[in-house]
Amino acid sequence: MLEVRLAQKGETVHQKELWKRCFGDSDRFIDFYYANRYKEDETAVLLHDGEIKAMLTMIPVRTVIPDNRSFKTAMLYAIATHPKYQNLGFATQLMDFSNQYLSTRQTELSVLAPANGQLFDYYRKQGYQDGFYIRETRLFRASVESLASDSACKCTVLAINPQEYNRRRNKQLNGRLFIAYDDEDIAYQKKLSQLSGADIYAVDIAEIEGCLAVERITSDKILIKEILLPEVHMNLALKQIVLQLPAKEYVMRTPPYSADHLGGRLRPFGMIRVDREIDWMITPEDLGYLGFAFD
């Protein structure tokens, strides 16, 4: 017998077990998520014979389009089906339930970031289309130190609070297609960054107010999860970053239209689906930017 509904109190132990089996994350990270981000009314579960076999999270966000209008959106996150119950349509039933639930809340769009390239085709069958991209660049300390930059400018990189980060983020992305987050979600990203030994930062160069989110993967490897500032100042900012956050290797994610002078790989990152009729059409030329997928 199948039952699909919102999560209830007392179910987190079973949810954590399913999360670990599906994603392989450490108990430390899973416990961190449930202590800092989990909400029952944003979590849908599918039960088979009374046991949770699939689940997903619905994070409220907003889709902002180039003319600065925004639409109520849900980001579907941590979509998981027990390996022994995959290919039985459980995820589809769970998403159908979520779509109906979100419709009652007047949600206009839904977005998600597939965990791997193979899942893009599956979500296309669910009505999603490519909409968000990133440029991912691998850099090494020595190559960053040799980048040309304006020595007359000063760059400072300082940890900031979530509200200020969000203000800077929205300002830098103004006029683009992007996903906007609540301050609460930026606060969660700050905690994620701090858990790894890094933080979220202000990047100040002259009158430019940029922002930067970093997670330390190992002592020798850093993930620049987001860096937003004009491309002309990117080299100078990177030089300051390697001074303050030393490592051998840096993996940098930027919006798809940024930092192309550093090479890197442009790839699809997120997908979008229209759930209610809106007077706007999504096109690949928009090169939308999602940013935080909390991956």
What does the pLDDT read at residue 243? Answer: 96
- The reply to whether 183 and 101 lie within a common domain is no
Residue 66 belongs to what domain range?
A: 2-112
What does the pLDDT read at residue 117? Answer: 86
φ/ψ of 278, rounded to 5, equals: -135, 160
Q: What is the pLDDT of residues 75-113, one digit of tens each?
A: 999 999 999 999 999 999 999 999 999 999 999 999 999
- The reply to whether 73 and 150 lie within a common domain is no
Identify the sign of the CA torsion 205, 227, 143, 248.
positive
pTM: 0.95
The answer to whether position 119 is within a domain reads: no
Partners of 198 in beta bridges: none
The answer to whether position 127 is within a domain reads: no
Residue 136 has pLDDT above 80, yes or no: yes
- The reply to whether 206 and 146 lie within a common domain is yes
What does the pLDDT read at residue 116? Answer: 87
DSSP state, 242? H
Total domains present in the chain: 2
Percent of the chain with pLDDT over 70: 100
What does the pLDDT read at residue 162? Answer: 98
In the structure, what pLDDT confidence band is assigned to residue 282 with cuts at 50, 70 and 90?
confident
- The reply to whether 93 and 169 lie within a common domain is no
Q: What is the rounded end-to-end Cα distance, in angstroms, of the chain? A: 32
Average pLDDT of the segment spanning 202-215: 97
Average pLDDT taken over every residue of the chain: 95
- The reply to whether 154 and 254 lie within a common domain is yes
DSSP state, 249? E
Partners of 5 in beta bridges: 45
Q: Indicate the range of 30-39, 113-122, 147-156 predicted with least confidence.
A: 147-156
- The reply to whether 188 and 255 lie within a common domain is yes
What does the pLDDT read at residue 17? Answer: 97
- The reply to whether 22 and 66 lie within a common domain is yes
- The reply to whether 94 and 53 lie within a common domain is yes
φ/ψ of 286, rounded to 5, equals: -65, -25
- The reply to whether 107 and 139 lie within a common domain is no
Q: What is the pLDDT of residues 144-166, one digit of tens each?
A: 999 998 778 899 999 999 999 99
Percent of the chain with pLDDT over 90: 92
Q: Indicate the range of 3-12, 31-40, 137-146, 147-156 predicted with least confidence.
A: 147-156
Residue 238 has pLDDT above 90, yes or no: yes
The answer to whether position 36 is within a domain reads: yes
- The reply to whether 139 and 261 lie within a common domain is yes
280, HSE (Cβ side, Cα atoms, 13 Å): 20
Residue 277 has pLDDT above 90, yes or no: no
What does the pLDDT read at residue 236? Answer: 96
Cα–Cα distance measured from residue 102 to residue 90, given in angstroms and rounded to the nearest whole number: 18
CATH of the domain at 102: 3.40.630.30
What does the pLDDT read at residue 128? Answer: 95
Identify the sign of the CA torsion 248, 251, 254, 260.
positive
- The reply to whether 147 and 232 lie within a common domain is yes
